[in-house]
Copies of this chain bind each other. A is one copy, B any other.
Amino acid sequence: MAGESDILQTTQCLCLASRRAARAITRQFDTALRPHGLRATQFSLLSGLALKGPQSIGALASLLGADRTTLTRNLAVAEARGLVSVAPGDDARARIARLTAEGRRVLQDALATWRAVQAGLTEEMGGEAADSLRRLSGGPSLLLAAGAS
């Protein structure tokens, strides 16, 4: 084993790269969305519900690419702020999350801010890198696929 030279390879680590990128991008969105009382995670949660309508926690977790139990906590935050309501569905096991009127309003208000940051970032990193990042994350098809009428 060539000790030192092995370590040098870790400068190319894709995990660190992805996490650094996500942290930097998230900080930009968090800062910009602050006046709206939202963080990036909460914004994504609301937009996911707006796009695909009321859905179970598991479905939403899958949509956002997060663990189901993570979404349980994230939804609790949104619910405490009156942005989302959660109630049992036809299947008594499932709990269906849906936007409240307030949640819809906050999301609508935040959209202009989101658009501005999104546009700035896209220009900053270049459209090619942006497309590459979206492909990497599972592609926009995941969001559009199941019919966002």
Which A residues form the contact surface with B (CB < 8 A)?
A: 1, 3, 6-29, 31, 40-41, 43-44, 47, 50-51, 64-66, 107-108, 111, 114-115, 117-118, 121-122, 124-125, 128-130, 132-138, 140, 142-144, 146-148
Contact = CB atoms under 8 A, between A and B. Distances in A.
Contacts of A133: 14, 17-18, 21, 132-133, 136
Instruction: Report which residue of A14, A134, A144 has the largest number of chain B beta carbons within 10 angstroms of its beta carbon.
Output: A14
Contact of A124 (B128, B138, B142): B142
B136 A27 contact: no
> Does more than half of chain A's interface fall in helix, strand or loop, or is it mixed?
helix
A111 B2 CA distance: 11
A135 to B, nearest CB: 7
Contact of A22 (B13, B21, B40, B124): B21
A108 B16 CA distance: 18
Given A146-B27, A147-B23, A51 B14 contact: no
Given A24-B65, A136-B125, A136-B133, A143 B19 contact: no
Nearest to A147: B27
Given A11-B144, A21-B133, 7 more contacts: A6-B108, A11-B51, A13-B44, A16-B40, A17-B138, A23-B65, A24-B65
